[in-house]
Structure 1
Amino acid sequence: MSQEHYARIELERQRAKERQKRALAKRQRALEISQVHLEQAKQHIERMHAQGLDAFVSLTQIEQQIQQVRQLAQSARLELPPPAQKYGGYDSTFEDHVRLLDDNPFKAQELSHAILSQLNSLESHAKELQKAQFRANQASVQEYFHTQREQIQDDLVLEFAKEGLQKLEAQVKAFDGRDFKGFYPQLQAQMGALLQEAQNKVLRHRQELARQEIKKENATKNAQQNCKDLQGNLQKMQAQGLDAFVSLQSLKQELESLQAFIQTDPLKAQQQSLEALYNLEKLQRQALDLQRAQAGANQEKAQQDFYARLQEIKDPAIITYAKEDLALLQERLATFDGLNADTQHQIQADLEQVLQRAQAQAQANNAQQESQRQMWAQELEHLKNEVAQIATSPEQETLLAQIAKIIEGLASQDFNTLESQIVQINAQADSLIVEENARKEVVISIVKTLRGHEFEVQAPVLKEGAVIIKAARPSGKRVQCRIEHGKIWYKFDEYEGLTCKEDIAKFEKELEEVYGFKLEDKKVLWENPDRISKGAIDLNNPHKKSL
């Protein structure tokens, strides 16, 4: 062959290789495009799943098509066998070899492209369906919310739930209809909880209003009673003369304003009336302290003036003739509470009259012994009667026997001896009477003390030589005292806790500080938290003086 023929054959061979290379590149490009389409389809499907669009359209057919494209891509051939060369040329053309290959790469490319187009159409359709469902979900949620709100008939429940309903309404308006299965039950639960809480609040509110109404009614009653007590205590203080020691004008004005204030604000009126009662009680204690101090000073001065005037008398006969009247005056002096200055002046004036009469009697009868004997007889009879009135005791019986013996010897006894006996018997009688008077003072002081501590005191009773004093409070607390032979036994019972000891301490303190008793040899006979008895208490009254 010629060189030109070989050159032509080589040129054909080179051209065949170029055509083969271009054909295989197209197949490879088609496969790559189909792989890209498959990846895009996969991402597209994942996105539709993530958006929940698969709930509105079926992706099964698309997924089957994707699997078919993968199979086409896997079975596609990318290489061709080289063309067989014979002498003088090729046994077939390149096109014949290409025609022998399958068209899988191009089918895969076409089918993957169709998948993408179909996915786009399905996504658009699914989105439209999804939007319609979202709108339906929104409408359902809004209808439920408004229906539930309109069913609330109680305005007070609606008022208490107002803020919560506004928050729920904002959530309903903001709901985009997507998570219906999650949002709707949550909304139902929140709505139920909100209404239940509002109903509970309404119930508590109405209960509180009822309690407040009852509280106001009770406050009105309490305030009215407090005003009544306040007015009664003011009148009582005036009757006791305590307004001479403290001013009651401000409390009277406050009482008037309280009575008008009860109708407008009973709770405040109740509180202010309690404060007014407390202030009145403090003022009453202050006035009583001032009154007791003044009374004590008046008592002490009355006794000092009385006994100082008696000490000025040098003639014993005057004291003897004035003894009966002095004893009466002494009793009046013992019962004098120190509150009325006129009583003090009257006792002193009566003392002067008694001493003047006694002095006249002594001057008229000193020269007449017989008359004196008669007077002694009368005096002894009176003394006997006076001593007979004293509580029965061995000393009293002995003294009565001595008086009777002297009376029997009045006519026969020597005058001086008789006078000496009478003086002696008078001294003994005076001692006994003074002791009796001292006991009376003790009784009076105890009665005053108990009354000062708000006890209702029964009349003292003389029993077997002892004076029994019983007292009680309206609360049931009781006190019993027994005075005998210069000693006091007393018992406090029906108390709770330690208040018994507190009242005993106040009782003993007032006896010592106000009435001047010196309590010695104290002995607790029996004690428990509610009852205490004491006994064997010696009395020594430094203010007590005898004639």
Structure 2
Amino acid sequence: MSRIADRTWEIERERRHQAYLSRIRSTTSEFVERYETILADVRRQGLDRYVATEFRSLESTLQRLRSLLHSDPERARDESRNIASDVHALPRVAREAQRHAVELERERQRRAGVELQSVLDSVFGEIGDPVEREFAYIEAATLKDDLTARVAAGTSIERIRQDVAQQTARIREQAQRQASEWKAGRRQAAAPEVQAQVLRDTRDTALKAAERNPAALRALSAAWDAVQETDEASAFQHALAAASAQADDAIVNEECRRTAVRAIFESLQKAGFAVEPPRRETGESDRVVILARKPSGRQAEFRVDLGGELSYKFDHYEGLACKQDIDQVLPMLQQLYGIQLSDERIRWENPDRLSRDARPLDNQENRHE
């Protein structure tokens, strides 16, 4: 008896879900490490104080992502995508903020009188963010004429200091808003360059994992092209998420197929077959082929594709021996490896196969039995 049949295969839902989460956890971890390196470089260059609020916020988010990688990798992935542009923009914004603050400080020191400057320094010098501090000085400069006149009239510096302090809250609030708007403008100006960097990082990570999957590579290339045509920030994020999801699906599909191939390989071995290393067939279809034989010459061949299709052929059998091997191998796939088979379609079956058609293995192959 010989049989050729087609089946559909599927990894048990929970096992597939775990493979999916493992993929997300792995890629998100790569991005978190990359983000941490960027923040470390900003701090090493002493630029973090020019983007103090933004730096602390991103640092806190990365700490949370580290925890979420274990407890909720999908949420970690989503938050990672949300901060990608901000992280990549941070070094550029920090450098521009440094230049801006230094220029404003030089100009202020040139114009301000010594006594008035000492008053302003006592009130605003404690502001940690240099950009915010310089905006506070600029806002306080509206008081300059009045304060200068009062100094000239003999009003004590202490009294002037008290009067300025009463307006500190308003000035600092306005300065904080102005600094935030200024930095937002710098991030917006950097958006095209930042989006290109985010796209490169995400694409390279996905393509590296899919490099052995020609079908996935073709699909992903089309997806990345669609992302590149998107300029508006929210549309870019949506397109990037869609392309990344497509990449994850393709890679998880390949990982699940590897699990199925490994299960078939080991099940055949347990059934007494000598199994050749799996080989990949590419072209119009993308299939992995597993060939196995017994010393008697009985043969088994499995072909597994990414879409859930599996075909098998048991050949060179006599009588019911074929069915016995099939009934031994296929149940193992589900019982031991969680591979669910359904929808069997027998394409060819010969119940009267004669033993003389069998082709024994040579002596060397017999020794492996």
The alignment's TM-score, normalised by the length of structure 1, stands at 0.31
Larger strand fraction of residues: 2
Give the number of the structure whose alpha-carbon radius of gyration is greater.
Answer: 1
